[in-house]
Every structure is written in C-alpha cells, then in structure tokens.
Amino acid sequence: MQKKITVGILFGGKSAEHEVSLQSAKNVYEAIDRSRYEPVLIGIDKSGRWLLNNASGFLLNAEDPGKISLSTKGSAVALIPQSRGSLSVMQGLNISGQTMPLDSINVPAQRIDVIFPILHGPFGEDGTVQGLLKLADIPFVGAGVLGSAAGMDKDVMKRLLRDSGIPIGKFITLSSHEKAPDFSTVTQTLGLPFFIKPANMGSSVGISKVRTATGYPTALADAFQYDSKLLIEEYIPGRELECAVLGNESPEASVAGEVISSHEFYSYEAKYLDEKGAELIIPAKITEEISQRVRDLSVQTFRALCCEGLSRVDFFLRENGEVLVNEINTMPGFTKISMYPKLWEASGISYTNLITRLIELAFERYAKEQSLKTSVL
C-alpha cells in the first residue's frame, strides 16, 4: 500500500484575517482526499505561536464566524530547516527570541511532505511564511515569495499592473510618515466618493468609503490602524466580477462570477458575518466577449505579478463594457462557500479535487526548483 502524503495545513496567523483563515482551514481539513493525504493541523495563534493541533476540538465556536477561535491546547512546534520539512514538537518549551542548538532539543520530529498555508493577509499571504518554507526546503501550495509580496501590497501590485498595460482605476498612495493630501486635492484627482484602504490587508478590513470632508480624517486613521501605507482609490461604479486562476507556468482561468452586495460595498461583514450580505452569481450574467476579456486579464494579471498555484482576480465592469482590474488575492478565502472554490466547481473541478490539484502544483514547482544549480562548483 502506497504511503500517504503528509500535508501540513497551516492556518490562523498574526493578521486581522485570522478568523477567515480558521474557517478556510476547517473546510480544507474536512474535504481533503484521505485516501491520498494525511492532514496535520498547524495553527498559528494571534501572538505568532505555532501549535500542533488535534483534529478534535482544534477550533472553538467553529460554526459561528463571529466567535470562531483557535484552541490554544496544542503543542508548540517549530520548523527545522536543516532536515527538510520536519516539524519539531516543543512540548512545554518557550524558545521565543532564543537561539538554541538543534542537538540540545531532544524532542521528536514529524516529517511533513508539503505545506498548505491557508493564511490570509500579513504574516502569511505576504511572502513572510513563503520565505520560511523555502528556507525549510519544503514544498508549499500557492505563490512564492515574490508573487505573494507583490500581490499583498496593493500599491506595488497596481504599479506593476499599470506598467504591464493592464487597465486599473486611479489611485494615490500615502505612507504614515507623509502629510496627507488635502481633501480638495484628492477629489480633484479621484472625484467623489472615493475609497481608503490599507495597502497590505485583505477581506475588506480597514476600508472606508469617503463621501465628505468630515469623514476623510476618520477614514485615514482607521486604515492606518492596519498598515503604515494606504491607498486612496477612485470609486468605480459598476458590477463586481471575480475570476479564479489555477496553475504554474500554464495558468488557466475559471468562469467569471459576480458579487452583488446588499451592503454599501463588499465589506468584511458582508463577506463573512452577514449570511445575506452578498449574493454570488456563478457564472456571471455577462456577454461571452466580456467573459473572455475577464479570463484573459486574469491570466495576464497572474503572470504580471509572478504568481503560482492559485489566485482570485477581482474586477469592476463599467456600464460601457470597460473591464478594470481591482486587485488580486494570492490566497483567497477557501471555505466551501467562498468564491474561489465555487468558481472552479462551476468550471468542473470539485472542492476536493481542487485541493488535490493545488498540492500537485506545489510538488511540480518544488521539483523544478530542485533541478536548479545552487553552486558553480
């Protein structure tokens, strides 16, 4: 009997999107093909501790998106880069901020064949964990360091897309050490209303729609709670479309879907807390020409940002038929009701088979990287 592949499901994290990640992990754990894979649950709490979790009760209030949380009863773990992909179980030890020789840690190690980092936002989707996993010499699902970092930082992302000739909306970048432009200056450039959002955050966290001068300072302060850099973007009236991309060197795009929010915009609450916050129309009711345009732009965006594995590309569709790229998500929400898996389900790939394909893509990239020389001698 062929030995099962051990898949480390890495989830949680030090991010405002922590709870979204917990929901994604729960669904992946339940749906993964057990005939081929042996899942290992590795939760990261909000302080950054890595915990090896038991499948029984690893989440608290698992059925309530507003109260879901990670159980902290798991054993502390650490990756050991020197022994490809091993997890060392650090029971009862606190080694934070310390340098300890590996031979002084007399604890069992568990081999992990591949990591599925279902982490959303900073400290997970931004290249930080991806760099750690590359140092640990372990295959992992999703974009690498460069693609993850470029996709997470909306300022860098939009500049790369603009320079690649991909249509985007107008925007202004503002860092916390800079003086904010006057409200009149912003409106002259972007019009009214406009959006303010953290540059490195997802799931609509910290986003405000600004209509008046009195709301401008509050929106800036709110966004700066989550990042030291933010974007001020023009409001683009129109329909919101989304498309999923899958692959490495030869990425493919799914059918397009549409989000119709019952809120003023597709906020965090509309996405994850309000059961009636948004309606997902899959496939979107658009012409074949626009559908193909969305799919082509999705693949172009994926390639321009050096992405791998998976991404979801979000669009605005103006009344005149113009399609504009809003942003990319290199590790989109992965619950069973999230747009990314639902788009692929409508395109002929089930949730379980999608997980399998992503793991296969991780091994495919790893094998290619291993074939490269690391020394001239």
- The pLDDT assigned to 205 comes to 77
Q: Which tokens hold the place of 369? A: 């990287």
Residue indicated by tokens 């209303």: 193
Residues 6+ apart with CB under 8 A from 64: none
- The pLDDT assigned to 88 comes to 58
Please identify, among 191, 207, 234, the residue that sits at the C-terminal boundary of a domain.
234
- The pLDDT assigned to 141 comes to 98
Note the pLDDT tens digit of each residue in 338-349.
999 999 999 999
Task: Find the CATH number of the domain harbouring 196.
Answer: 3.30.1490.20
Containing structural domain, residue 198:
170-234
Question: Same domain for 178 and 277?
Answer: no
- The pLDDT assigned to 110 comes to 74
Find out whether 294 and 310 touch, Cβ atoms under 8 Å: no
- The pLDDT assigned to 270 comes to 47
Question: Same domain for 21 and 82?
Answer: yes
Note the pLDDT tens digit of each residue in 224-265.
999 999 999 999 999 999 999 999 999 999 999 999 976 555
Domain tally for the chain? 3
- The pLDDT assigned to 34 comes to 96
CA 183 centroid distance within chain: 32
Q: Between 339-346 and 351-370, two packed helices, what is the crossing angle to 10 degrees?
A: 100
DSSP secondary structure, 174-200, as one string: EETTSPPPPHHHHHHHH-SSEEEEETT
- The pLDDT assigned to 249 comes to 95
How wide is the angle at C-alpha 319 spanned by C-alphas 317 and 325, nearest 5°? 20
Question: Same domain for 273 and 193?
Answer: no
Give Cα separations from 81 to 51, 111, 135, 229 (angstroms): 17, 12, 6, 32
Task: Find the CATH number of the domain harbouring 342.
Answer: 3.30.470.20
- The pLDDT assigned to 114 comes to 94
- The pLDDT assigned to 111 comes to 80
Find out whether 80 and 102 touch, Cβ atoms under 8 Å: yes
Burial code (b: 16+ CB inside 10 Å, e: under 16) for 88-121 equals: bbbeeeeeeeeeeeeeeeeeebeebbbbbbbbbb
Question: Same domain for 46 and 91?
Answer: yes
Low-confidence ranges of the chain (pLDDT < 50): 91-104, 266-268, 270-274
- The pLDDT assigned to 221 comes to 96
- The pLDDT assigned to 15 comes to 84
- The pLDDT assigned to 276 comes to 63
- The pLDDT assigned to 102 comes to 45
Whole-prediction pTM: 0.89
Q: Which residues lie across from 172 on neighbouring strands?
A: 232
